[in-house]
A and B are shown apart, each in its own frame.
Chain A
Amino acid sequence: GENVEQHPSTLSVQEGDSAVIKCTYSDSASNYFPWYKQELGKRPQLIIDIRSNVGEKKDQRIAVTLNKTAKHFSLHITETQPEDSAVYFCAASGYGGATNKLIFGTGTLLAVQP
């Protein structure tokens, strides 16, 4: 089955710097890659996603890149702010059709130092 690895597990940056979180997946049939942000004590919320027919997607300060050949995808946050501090999870779809599953990475705790 699908396996998703996420690195680093913790990341500390200065406010205004960029942050990059990387994930690799094992199933070449995966075609949907969302990123979730979970603030302390709150539910995970989708911040950006990408499907396998595109290589990059941007939304203001966040962007996701996908390399299908290498089976890895990354989250890029530019001009980080203290409110970006949270745990970030990547995920990859299980096989399509009736399963509709997401396999999650183990999470990255991002701390933005003011």
Chain B
Amino acid sequence: DVKVTQSSRYLVKRTGEKVFLECVQDMDHENMFWYRQDPGLGLRLIYFSYDVKMKEKGDIPEGYSVSREKKERFSLILESASTNQTSMYLCASSYYGTGGVDTQYFGPGTRLTVL
């Protein structure tokens, strides 16, 4: 059974703080993703990684960076948190399928509030 875990379920930070969100998967997946989920906007891709130390920008990368030093771990970094980054953050992982895009498995989410 695929397991994707995130470091915190709830997080409260102050404007200007540096914030780290961590995601770990135990299925040896090549691909890992960070999304934010906001009401009425669905799931929007922030960054993804298809291999260790590799990353690509998603649709809304501004204000975020990522790090993938080990295959199982993908970190999302808010360099200087702002109130408009208050959101639910979801991590996901998937195999690099030779037949094309494969199923993504999600973590439980981190609800971040920036005051």
Give chain A's interface residues, CB within 8 Å of chain B: 6, 9, 31-32, 34, 36, 42-46, 49, 51, 89, 93-94, 96, 98-107
B90 CB, min distance to chain A CBs, angstroms: 7
A101-B58, A102-B101 known; A89+B107 contact, CB < 8 A: no
4 smallest A-B Cβ distances: which pairs? A93-B101, A106-B42, A104-B43, A43-B106
The interface bits of chain B over 90-115 (1 if a CB of A lies within 8 angstroms of the residue's CB, else 0) are 10001011011111111111000000
A96 surroundings in chain B (CB, below 8 A) = 100-101
Residues of B participating in the A interface, judged by any CB pair closer than 8 Å:
31, 33, 35, 40-45, 48, 50, 56, 58, 90, 94, 96-97, 99-109
Chain B, Cβ-Cβ closest to A44: B106
Chain B residues with CB under 8 Å of A89's CB are: 42-43
A6 to B43, CA, bound (A): 12
A9: which B residues are within 8 A, CB to CB? 40
Docked pose: A6 CA to B97 CA in angstroms: 26
Given the contacts A43-B90, A44-B90, A102 and B40 also touching, CB distance less than 8 Å? no
**Complex: how many Å from CA A34 to CA B109?**
20
